[in-house]
Amino acid sequence: MRPIFTPNTKKGNHTSAPILLDSAEAEIMLALRKRERISRTEVSTITGWSKAKAAQEIKSLIDKGLLIEVGEGSSQGGRRPGLLSLNNLLGYIIGLDIGATSLDVVLADVTGQIIQRISDNADVRVKPEQFLGRCIELINQMIEAHGIHAYQILGIGIGVPGPVDFVHGILVAPPLMPDWENFPIRNFFTDIFSSAFVVVDNDVNIMALGEQRMGNGVGVDNFIYVKIGTGIGAGIVSNGRIHRGSDGYAGDIGHICVDKQGPVCRCGNQGCLEAMTAGPAIAEKAMQAARNGNSQILSRLMETNGGVLYPEDVNTACRDGDIAALEIIRTSGQMIGEVLASFVIFFNPSHIFISGGIANFGNHLLVSIRRAVLRRSLPLATAHLSINFSNANSNAGTIGALALVREYLFMVEDDPNLIV
């Protein structure tokens, strides 16, 4: 079935534009992003409009096929109110969460209701054409399985592990994937899905959005979401919105210097937090401990693995009571916490959520981070600060990618945040 309403397409660069609304219509769409269903009275309350104006604007959206009636809500003493929802027959959206070694793809209707999810192993160090070609294969596999046509895909949200120029949707000097620099990711997808509006962001930003939608970040206006894995990055939510900075680079804490005499980082600088405490650094420290004879457990694991160790081996050794592994974890947590303390003093978040593969190290890591933040921050900045692991699990990225595309799919024409 052909979608009821499709985005306008800008000719020449093959980049689809969002569905443009007037300011009043956009206010209603914003309210619907926060609640799946809403009554006319609630629209009037949220917007401050009269009931007559609310009814008029709602009728306009219904006439355009953007809203539908979806039953009745609970009575508040009078008639049961009619409920409105975004029309799920408008079309479909795709969420892509690209990690250093993984790929997660979800297909959803335009309301964000997930239809199918696919996960795959991946390596972002390959050429972008090869990697994104695999993404296209998985998307086609899903839409064909559900009888969906390419022109029914209205939006695609993509998270990538590197610094993103958000307006243009390109990676700029990504340390992990240099072949991707300035690659036209949006055009790669719109060449295939010409009806889709494509928006690209840093992977930790979309995870922060996922935490805001489905984790302990629901209803939290100011928090930092930290991913510790192959790299280290942070998503900053300020006043309920992702803070990207002037060029989209905000939150790349992995390249803050923690030791001027430390090892050379992939970015070319020396002693970056990522080079000292991310997964590869933890594995390297473990192999040094094994080679130096400081850990019999790590030595045995290294021999079993054919001469190498992985971050999960450090966690295994720590659980078996290995002092060297415990010290590696505690030192990493302390360094991460000291960097986060600067953010706490500067930004004063109410929550910090820790995620990523290294978060599986558990409480030894978390306690070290907490202690460092509390020791290095001023009392008022930490009086109500909560530091915990994210509970949005591995779905945070894909949920955030869907939230990202839904946020930008319906836009006001003169909105300063408009992406074209």
Choosing from 86, 107, 122, the residue where a domain stops is 86
- 351-355 and 386-389 as β-strands: parallel, antiparallel, unpaired? parallel
User: pLDDT by residue (tens digit) across 66-106?
Assistant: 999 988 777 666 678 889 998 988 999 999 999 888 899 99
Choosing from 86, 102, 127, the residue where a domain stops is 86
The yes-or-no verdict on residue 245 having pLDDT over 70 is yes
Number of domains into which the chain is organized: 3
Identify whether 295 is part of a domain: yes
CATH number, residue 187? 3.30.420.40
| Whether residue 346 sits in one domain with residue 238 | yes
| Whether residue 268 sits in one domain with residue 187 | no
Query: Distance (Å, rounded) from C-alpha 7 to C-alpha 2?
Result: 13
Residue with tokens 């199918």: 116
| Whether residue 185 sits in one domain with residue 137 | yes
| Whether residue 232 sits in one domain with residue 202 | no
In terms of residue numbers, what domain contains 362?
A: 218-391
| Claim: this prediction has a pTM higher than 0.75 | yes
Query: Distance (Å, rounded) from C-alpha 306 to C-alpha 326?
Result: 23
| Whether residue 106 sits in one domain with residue 72 | no
| Whether residue 246 sits in one domain with residue 386 | yes
Residue with tokens 């109410």: 350
92-101, 116-125, 243-252, 403-412: range with lowest mean pLDDT: 403-412
- Decide if 387 contacts 373 (C-beta within 8 A): yes
CATH number, residue 80? 1.10.10.10
Identify whether 6 is part of a domain: no
The yes-or-no verdict on residue 7 having pLDDT over 70 is no
pLDDT mean over 12-17: 46
Identify whether 418 is part of a domain: no
User: pLDDT by residue (tens digit) across 250-307?
Assistant: 999 999 999 999 999 988 999 999 999 999 999 999 999 999 999 999 999 999 999 9
Q: Which of helix, strand or coil describes residue 222?
A: coil
pLDDT mean over 316-335: 97
Identify whether 179 is part of a domain: yes
Give the DSSP H/E element, type plus range, for residue 120. Answer: strand 114-121
| Whether residue 361 sits in one domain with residue 255 | yes
- Residue 310 has a CB neighbour count (10 Å cut-off) of 18
Q: Which of 11-20, 156-165, 386-395 has the highest mean pLDDT?
A: 156-165
DSSP state of 201: E
Identify whether 7 is part of a domain: no
- Decide if 229 contacts 356 (C-beta within 8 A): yes
Choosing from 86, 110, 126, the residue where a domain stops is 86
| Whether residue 234 sits in one domain with residue 303 | yes
Identify whether 1 is part of a domain: no
| Whether residue 222 sits in one domain with residue 364 | yes
Q: What would the two tokens of residue 269 be?
A: 């600088």
| Whether residue 196 sits in one domain with residue 179 | yes
| Whether residue 30 sits in one domain with residue 169 | no
Residues 6+ positions from 144 with CB-CB distance below 8 Å: none
Q: Write the secondary structure of 139-187 as one string of H (helix), E (strand) and C (coil).
A: HHHHHHHCCCCHHHEEEEEEEECCCEECCCCEECCCCCCHHHECCCHHH
Residue 78: predicted pLDDT? 67
Q: What would the two tokens of residue 145 be?
A: 């399985």
Identify whether 40 is part of a domain: yes
| Whether residue 135 sits in one domain with residue 272 | no
Identify whether 14 is part of a domain: no
- Residue 60 has a CB neighbour count (10 Å cut-off) of 16
